Every structure is written in C-alpha cells, then in structure tokens.
Chain A
C-alpha cells in the first residue's frame, strides 16, 4: 500500500500512522455520553469503500483523509485535513 500525500507525493505505507475511521472528524458536544461513545467506539466498519484518518508521521506530519477500499487495499483519494479547534488531531 502506498499513500499519495498531497504534500510529499506517493510514499510507502510504513511512513504513515493510522488513527481510524473518519468518525474522528466530528467531535461530539461535551457531556453527550451517547455521542461520545459513538465517536470513540462504534464503527460502520465497511467491507469496501471507506474514509479514514492517517498522519504522514515520518514525512510532513500532515493529517490526511484517505478514501480507500478495505477489500482490495486500493487507495483512491487523499486530502489534507485542515486543523480545526473542535477536532482532536
């Protein structure tokens, strides 16, 4: 697997850290226990197309939203995630 980092180009997967599903990009309101549980634990976990959050840890260290296929390991699109106050990156 290689990921096409928008800043560094095609790089080997060993340079990247996997955080998890894109659910991490929508932080629940503080005190909302049900939503916090969903955010932290409950996953759609699709067999096929998915979007998940990676960091180009051993490269430019940018956080990336990667669209890929979990059944084939094909990587489709990669976008930069803009840092926002309300997401935990």
Chain B
C-alpha cells in the first residue's frame, strides 16, 4: 500500500483497519544470489539499491535481532556534508543529495529536517581552519557560510558567548545539514526493499561463513545454512566477529559512544550546534527532547553502555556552552558499539575472499552515510568494481599509508579518533 494523504484520510474514516504490515516475514530460502549480513541502515540500503539500481531479484538481508536494533536506532541522527578530504568530500556530498529526495524515493516519511548545522570556533586559528573547510565544501558543490560572532548570536542567542576558556568567535554554518528520524530510515529502506522482493530475515544470526578454495559459498545461520553467490558483511560494530568467521582480520577496534536525551521541552534549539573544543553537540528532537552527545569513551568495548567520567564531561561541556540547559532533566542515556578504523574513515571494499565484500568502519558518523553507503556497496557487489565516490575507501590504504583519510589530522591510530 502506498502511503499518502488520501490513504491516511480514508483509513481515518474506516477505523484504520486497512493498514498492513510494512514488510513480509519470509522463511529463508536455501539459496540467494546476494546475501547481506546485518539489517542496520547500511545493510538495508545496500539491499534496496541492489534491487533498485541493479535490477537484482534474489536478495536476502540476514539480521540477528530485529530491524533497527543496532546503531541505526541508537544514534543522534545528524546528517551533514561538511567533510574536508578528497574521498570523504565527494562521498558525503553524494549522500546528502540522496537524503534530499529520500522520502519520495522510499515513499516513507524519514523526517529529514535541514535545520542547519553550526560548528562553533573559538580562536583566530580555528576560524582560519573553518574557513578552509568551508571553501572545500563550496568547491565540492555543497553549502557553507562563515558566521561572525554577531551572526551566530542572532541564530543562537542562548549560548554563553564570553565563556572564559572558550569565548565564541563565530561559526561555520552548513544550512543543508540537519537531522532525520533514525528508526524511520531503517523502516523506510526495509519496506522499500521488501516491495522490490528483498527477503528481510530477522532473528537470523550468521554463525559461520562457508569458503571453498578462496571463494565464498554461503553462510551458516541460527536458522540453518543458506547458499549464496555473493555475500556482503555490513555489521558495523560487529565487523571483527563476522570477518573472523571467514578467517579475516580487519583494521577495526570497537569502541563505545554514548548519547543522552532530556525530557521533552518546548522548541528552544532550532539547529544542530557543535562545540568541538568541548567535545559536545546538541539538537532538539521533534518530540522536544534535547539530544546530545560527546566523544568516545576511548577504550575497546562491546558493553553498549559507557562509564560515568564521559557522562560528566559531556554535561560539563553542555553547561559551559549553554548554561540554560542545566534546568532540563536527562531522561535517558545509552551507548552504541562503533567500528573505529585507524584513520576515522570507512571501508567499502572487496576482501581477500572472492565474492565476499565488506562495508564497515563507520566510526561515530555512519548515519548520514546510510544512503550513499548502500548505493556504493550495491555497486561494488553488483559490478565487482568500486563506485567512483567510494573508490578511495579501501583496506589497502592502511597497509601502504597512501590515501589515509584522517579528517582530524591526529594520526592513523585506533585510539586517536
């Protein structure tokens, strides 16, 4: 059933009895042409574009829990294209363009809201760096505007501009940046993929990968073995475990990233505001909760919860930036397992095993990447060639040191991003 205003009106008048489940719950078939391991945002988008862009029919997504139970439902939903380095620039630019038409494409309201992202700066040196980043964004064809302190004050009057340690000098304004409803992105891709015939198989944990003579043949799962011509591993924080099933070791270390949400408040924060010097960023959800977060806890972890020192640090940074939020009560906090690469940029590549592909290393920033990642991973799996905007994102770059994409300029080492 198509979702549209007429159907909502009709269902409203007829007791909402006509709505059907958004996707089927098929039994796994014995064999597929393409198997995607992982039903997060990236896995679902990959399956959708395999069917949509490449006309493939016999595709399954295997998800060990339920659709949306991973990081796709745990992130702070920021969508932006303000990257600096070649490789990341064109990829995230492509992704933002896909976001801008995603709702029509999927016939699903993902609540994409281009409310603007403002990155604050606090010194002359930082202003220069941000001006340079803004120029890179403009060169890429995206939007960026350097705001003076007074211009920031007009947009964000509630900040503490004269903070003793980090006085606000201005901000880099990316108007096309914003947020989206994270679960809806998973559900929208799931429904659209299902309608193109993709089998979404939930509660199906992959427990082994069958390889014969260097070629992938299928997978072992909690619901029995399934043969496949090609397999894509798209499991974010669990990349090391699933790669190990095929005897592969990857340049990934899984860390915990926490986030926080307050009780619902009246509209107060219109944009996404980032305070890099304090490792703090914030936006307000459509329900009214202030959604905010900070940096990684910075040690390897699969606990899906963090420790108190990082919580305290995030609260302190928030108070330093906008003292008014001290009156809001934090309702919930949580953590997600993020797949960190040494340089902080992702990998979409073939593996040493024929017909086995990986899409991983999303670190703390893979939500905004969902459309382009699916697009490029589908291209790689269908054509056996990297897509133009993702061709720099290889495993090889770590081995050779050539083409490292270290956006922060801190060094290519796991604990530095």
Q: Which residues of A contact B (CB under 8 A)?
A: 1, 12-14, 18-21, 33-34, 37-38, 40-48, 50, 52, 70-73
From the candidates A19, A70, A73, name the one contacting B415 in the complex (CB within 8 A). Answer: A19
Q: With A14-B309, A18-B415 known to touch, is A71 a contact of B303 (CB < 8 Å)? A: yes
* Residues of chain A lying within 8 A (CB to CB) of residue B307: 1, 13, 73
| Given A44-B249, A71-B302, A71-B303, A13 contacting B309 (CB threshold 8 A) | yes
Which residues in chain B, 333-366, are within 8 Å of chain A measured between CB atoms?
342
Residue of B nearest to A71 (CB): B302
| Nearest Cβ on chain A to B283's Cβ, whole angstroms | 27
User: Is B251 at the interface (CB under 8 A from chain A)?
Assistant: yes
B301 touches A73 (CB 8 A): yes
Give the interface SS of chain B, mostly helix, strand, loop or mixed: mixed
Q: Is B3 positioned at the interface, with any CB of A under 8 Å from its CB?
A: no
Q: A18-B415, A52-B300 are in contact. Are A43 and B253 (CB under 8 A)?
A: yes
In B220-259, the 8 Å CB interface with A consists of 238, 240-241, 249-254
Per the bound structure, the CA–CA distance linking A44 and B244 in Å amounts to: 9
A41, B342: Cβ atoms closer than 8 Å: yes
Given A13-B307, A21-B253, A45-B254, list of 5 further CB < 8 A pairs? A20-B300, A40-B413, A42-B250, A43-B250, A50-B300
Find out whether the CB atom of A45 lies under 8 angstroms from the CB atom of B300. yes
A21 to B251, CA, bound (A): 12
Kindly state whether residue B140 has any CB partner on chain A within 8 Å: no
Docked-complex contact B413 and A20, CB < 8 angstroms: yes
Q: Beyond A20-B414, A44-B249, is A12–B299 a contact (Cβ under 8 Å)?
A: no
Are A73 and B414 neighbours in the complex by a CB distance under 8 Å? no
Contact of B299 with A52 in the complex, beta carbons under 8 Å: yes
Bound CA–CA A47/B414 (angstroms): 17
Closest beta carbon of chain A to B239's beta carbon, Å: 8
**12 A–B contacts from the bound complex (CB under 8 Å):** A13-B307, A40-B342, A40-B412, A41-B251, A41-B342, A41-B399, A42-B251, A43-B249, A43-B253, A44-B249, A52-B300, A72-B303
CA separation between A13 and B306, bound complex, in Å?
12
Is A37 within 8 A of B398, CB to CB? yes
Say yes or no: is B298 at the interface (Cβ < 8 Å to chain A).
yes
CA gap between A45 and B142 in the complex, in Å: 37
Cα-based distance from A73 to B307 in the complex (angstroms) = 9
Give the Cβ gap from A58 to chain B, nearest Cβ, in Å: 12
Contact B249 A42 (CB under 8 A): yes
Within B252-288, which residues are at the interface with A (CB < 8 Å)? 252-254
* A-B pairs, 6 with minimum CB distance: A45-B240, A41-B251, A14-B309, A18-B299, A47-B302, A41-B398
